[in-house]
Amino acid sequence: MTAESINSISEFLLHAGTNFRILDLGRGVVPVSGQEFLDMENGLIAPPRPRQQHGWYAILFWNGQASEQHYIWFIKLPLDEQGKIVSAARNHFLQIIVDALGNRISKNDSASSKLPDNPYSFVPNQTLMAQFGAVARKLLNHPPCAGYLDVESYVRDPETHDWNALSLQAIADFAARINRAQGDWVVKHFDSYSTSFQLALLNALESSSLPEPISMLLQRKLLSEDKEPLDDAMELASLRALSAYTDAHELTHFLQQYITKKEDLSLDHLSVLAARHYRHFDTKLTRLYFEEVAKSDEKLGYNGELFTGLFSDLVQIPELRAEVLALLRSPERSPLLANAFGRVFSKAQNDRKSQ
* 152 and 240 fall within a common domain: yes
SS3 label, residue 146: coil
Question: Strand, helix or coil at 59?
Answer: strand
Mean pLDDT rounded to a whole number for the chain: 90
Kindly report, residue by residue over 332-344, the tens digit of the pLDDT: 889 999 999 888 8
Q: Tell me the β-bridge partners of 276.
A: none
Q: Give the end of a domain, one of 124, 156, 184.
A: 124
* CA-only gyration radius of the chain, Å: 22
Rama region for 28: left / alpha / beta (φ>0; ψ in -120 to 50; rest)? left
What confidence tens digit (pLDDT) does each residue in 3-59 have? 557 889 999 998 888 899 999 999 999 999 999 999 999 999 999 999 999 999 999
Q: Is the pLDDT of residue 115 over 70?
A: yes
Q: How confident is the model over 105-120, as a mean pLDDT? A: 71
Same domain, 353 and 308: yes
What SS3 state is found at 334?
coil
Among 124, 156, 189, which residue terminates a domain? 124
User: Is the pLDDT reported for residue 350 higher than 70?
Assistant: no
**165 lies in the same domain as 226:** yes
**Residues 96 and 168 placed together within one structural domain of the fold:** no
| pLDDT confidence band for 106 (50 / 70 / 90) | low
pLDDT, residue 63, reads: 80
Q: Based on the structure, what is the number of domains in the chain?
A: 3
- Residue 142 has φ and ψ, to the nearest 5°, of -90, 155
Residues 6+ apart with CB under 8 A from 112: 101, 104, 105
* C-beta of residue 209 within 8 angstroms of C-beta of residue 244: yes
* Total number of residues shown for the chain: 355
Residue-wise pLDDT for 172-199, tens only, equals: 999 999 999 999 999 999 999 999 999 9
In contact, 250 and 280? CB cutoff 8 Å = no
Its domain, for residue 280, covers: 254-355
Instruction: Name the domain boundary from 199, 226, 246.
Output: 246
* Sequence-ordered list of residues with C-beta below 8 angstroms from that of 116, at least 6 positions apart, any chain: 96, 97, 100
Interval 279-292 mean pLDDT: 94
Contact 78, 50 (CB under 8 A): no
**What pLDDT score was predicted for residue 113?**
66
**Predicted local distance difference test score (pLDDT) of residue 105:** 65
219 shares a domain with 139: yes
CB-CB neighbours of 178 under 10 Å: 23
| Residues 151 and 216 placed together within one structural domain of the fold | yes
Q: pTM for the whole thing?
A: 0.90
Instruction: Report pLDDT for 348.
Output: 59
Regarding whether 275 and 300 lie in a shared domain, the answer is: yes
Same domain, 12 and 94: yes
